[in-house]
Structure 1
Amino acid sequence: MSPVESVPGPKKAEQMFDAVGFDYETVYAEHCTHLLDVLTHIVNFLPPNSRVLDIGSGTGKPTAAFFANKGHRVTGLDISQTMVDVARKQVPQAEFYKADMTVYEPPNGQKFDAVIASHSLYQFSLPALRSQIFKFSGWVKKGGLVAIGTCLKPDEMAEQGREYDHRGWVEGLIERFMGHQAKCTVGLPKAWSGFFEDAGLEILDINQRVCMPKGGAPSDKQDQFFVTGRKIVDNELLGPYPLPKKLSEPFKIVDANIKAWLEFIARTTGRGDIQGAFDVLQREDRKAVLCIGSGSAGGHVFPSFDAIVSFGSLSYSPSPATAIGELLRVAARDATVILVQAAPDNEFTNLMNDALGDVDISPKAPVHQGILLDLAGKVLKNAGFDEVIYEYVDGYLQFPDSEGERQIRVARELLSKVWCANERDWEAVCGRLSAPLRRQFLDRPGEIRNQGVMMVCKRQQIV
């Protein structure tokens, strides 16, 4: 049996599935029967000639073959070239590509009617898993389906003395798979359902069954289930859903935490929001530009600007609608307005929300960013901004100057000061962050993704 890997990257996963090859179909025949039952349920929701994306398509059977034989247009992705070669021979009417799902983008903004990921997400960390489900939601049309197959692993959990956390997840569990071992993430059905709903996917079905690999010992049995959801929102990037009924408390930058905020900014690399905004301004030849961070345009006698860029400023305003009104006050009639807020899968925000949900601090978790962009969209639409484009942008909060427990101490002290303006809250927050940061750094030591959504708004008709 191979040595235990941490959460394997694309190369490790490719090597593992190259080694598995054709044997998978034989060993997991009972699993394939379960999957076919799920696919038979799903196909009833699809219109004729639907586009279906098979994630981790393996040998092409049964998923790609099932939908292709029903007359649907099937695209399969797999990290293993061996699997892709097998699938192309077995299901020639479908298209198969060697691709890493974490960086894949559908060509030309193409949308699918269904995305199926059967037992292909085990090696993801929890933050990466959350991000991937938001990606799946973004790849399907409104009304489209997402189905994910996974397993409970009670025997491995008992052997390793592991328990589900308060959210229904366990990370870093050692998984056995056809002579290989790797660390994986396992969740209860309710935990998976929560991630689906966060991404705007309404749960249609949870199909659970115990399957036994061919020739396996009793300890090899698999308690499998498939979660199927239908996209019911227009834009998954405004999540997590459902939107709260009221706005989150604003962040505060005061003398006590200004140094922490400056350090937070200095540690953030790969600023896709800055590059993305620059690309828009350059493409549209904007010259007079107002950039706003934690401040506002309120009270200033500015000239008129042909572009306004706000980097998270709505998070600091007690009245975001008023803040947007102030931006519009200094915007030229043909101005481009760019607003950036944290994405729904933002690892920093979700780490803090998960850790601090029951702590009496300000701002009170959970903090929600999507509602700010939703509000902004309504205000801007009323002001005549009828062309709105949403772009996902990345960023990375890095702690490369330390490692191990010291890295965790440095990170928790910084994050607690950034989150809370009140020094009295820092100690309480610090105490809650050690375990979440250990889990966070299990996958990528010293790194927390700080993803954002960039909202680009213009008026199509200038009068």
Structure 2
Amino acid sequence: MSEASESSEVGRYGGPSGVLPDRTGQAEAFDAIGRHYDDAFPHKDGQLAAGRRLADALPPGARILDVGCGTGLPTARQLTDAGHSVLGVDLSSGMLDLAAKNAPEAEFRQLDLAALRAEGPDGVGLFDGITAFFALLMLPRDEIPYALRLLHGLLRPDGLLALSMVEADLDDAAIPFLGHTIRVSGYLRDELRQAVRDAGFDILDEDTYSYAPASTDVPPEHQLFLHCRRG
């Protein structure tokens, strides 16, 4: 994809319609879940390993965007502890309140992924690395390619992306989650690889984890972690 076409795609992304989507229900659900989230998901081995790998691969003091940062644990805290500069973004003000306490060295902003821009009044600039751990799960599938291109455009040349998704053939499906209902999407692994490559990334490596939450009505899942470089 050329720089010009990529800029055009990113410039109109608010979902395929070009209008910022209304995710009020998702944000309210995670506001209510708040501190219970880390109790229900205490074991984040895959996320910790992927965060460590990214932290070690980047030069000291690198600038990293943590998309869907949640409570700031473990990723924002892990990356700031490693000496990097972190901007965490999330839809949920409740999650961000917790993140500010859990990772005080990071900066946090309440933003929809679809609203991220490098330039402009609310621009976030460019980054050496991006983490998107399960953030794309919250999007309808027809938004995910646009979101991946947007993240590609926020990376400096040869910048790194650490991406995770749950392997599932789902599109904007309503599921019960910690006493609330959220909407999630997923890909089978070959489809995910293709979507990532189509967005302009080279996949350097991948890991798979089988994960069962500690206390939730969500069934065990297969987590896919892709380690990518901006092509």
- In structure 1, the partner of 2:165 is 150
- In structure 1, the partner of 2:141 is 126
CA displacement at 1:43 relative to structure 2: 2.1
Contact 1:189–1:227 (CA under 8 A) maintained in structure 2: no
Distance 1:107 1:136 in 2: 13
Distance 1:141 1:43 in 2: 16
Residue 73 of structure 2: SS of its match in structure 1? coil
Amino acid in structure 2 at the alignment position of 1:101: L
Q: Which runs of 5+ in 1 are unaligned?
A: 1-7, 154-163, 165-169, 233-463
2:27 is aligned with 1:28: no
2:30 is aligned with 1:13: no
- In structure 2, the partner of 1:191 is 191
Distance 1:91 1:228 in 2: 24
Distance 1:123 1:70 in 2: 28
1:89 to 101, 108, 116: 101
**1:410-455: CA deviations, max 9, x gaps?**
xxxxxxxxxxxxxxxxxxxxxxxxxxxxxxxxxxxxxxxxxxxxxx
CA displacement at 1:216 relative to structure 2: 4.4
Amino acid in structure 2 at the alignment position of 1:189: R
Distance 2:111 2:49 in 1: 27
Gap change, CA 1:88 and 1:35, over 3 Å in 2: same
1:136 to 146, 151, 155: 151
- In structure 1, the partner of 2:201 is 201
Amino acid in structure 2 at the alignment position of 1:72: H
- In structure 1, the partner of 2:114 is 102
CA RMSD of aligned residues (A): 1.8
Distance 1:123 1:75 in 2: 20
Amino acid in structure 1 at the alignment position of 2:126: K
2:229 is aligned with 1:230: yes
Query: Normalization by structure 1: what TM-score?
Result: 0.43
Residue 134 of structure 1: SS of its match in structure 2? helix
Contact 1:77–1:97 (CA under 8 A) maintained in structure 2: yes
Distance 1:18 1:121 in 2: 18
2:132 is aligned with 1:117: yes
Gap change, CA 1:204 and 1:225, over 3 Å in 2: same
CA displacement at 1:85 relative to structure 2: 1.1
Gap change, CA 1:172 and 1:215, over 3 Å in 2: closer
Contact 1:51–1:114 (CA under 8 A) maintained in structure 2: yes
Distance 2:197 2:31 in 1: 34
Contact 2:46–2:225 (CA under 8 A) maintained in structure 1: no
2:174 is aligned with 1:174: yes
CA displacement at 1:107 relative to structure 2: 4.8
Amino acid in structure 2 at the alignment position of 1:130: P
Contact 1:209–1:224 (CA under 8 A) maintained in structure 2: yes
CA displacement at 1:149 relative to structure 2: 1.4
Distance 2:203 2:134 in 1: 18
Distance 2:78 2:212 in 1: 22
Contact 2:51–2:162 (CA under 8 A) maintained in structure 1: no
CA displacement at 1:10 relative to structure 2: 2.3
Amino acid in structure 2 at the alignment position of 1:223: H
Pairs aligned (count): 208
Distance 2:102 2:150 in 1: 28
Distance 2:167 2:99 in 1: 28
Distance 1:95 1:186 in 2: 29
Q: What percent of counterpart residues are identical?
A: 28
Contact 2:26–2:182 (CA under 8 A) maintained in structure 1: no
Distance 2:182 2:36 in 1: 19
Query: Normalization by structure 2: what TM-score?
Result: 0.84
Distance 2:61 2:203 in 1: 24
Q: Which is bigger in relative contact order (C-alpha 8 A, separation at least 6)?
A: 2
Contact 2:29–2:182 (CA under 8 A) maintained in structure 1: no
CA displacement at 1:16 relative to structure 2: 0.8
CA displacement at 1:172 relative to structure 2: 3.8
Contact 1:146–1:228 (CA under 8 A) maintained in structure 2: yes
Amino acid in structure 1 at the alignment position of 2:204: L
Distance 1:172 1:17 in 2: 16
2:60 is aligned with 1:44: no
Contact 1:118–1:149 (CA under 8 A) maintained in structure 2: yes
Contact 2:177–2:216 (CA under 8 A) maintained in structure 1: no
- In structure 1, the partner of 2:4 is none
Superposition pairs of residues 378-457 of structure 1, within 5 angstroms: none
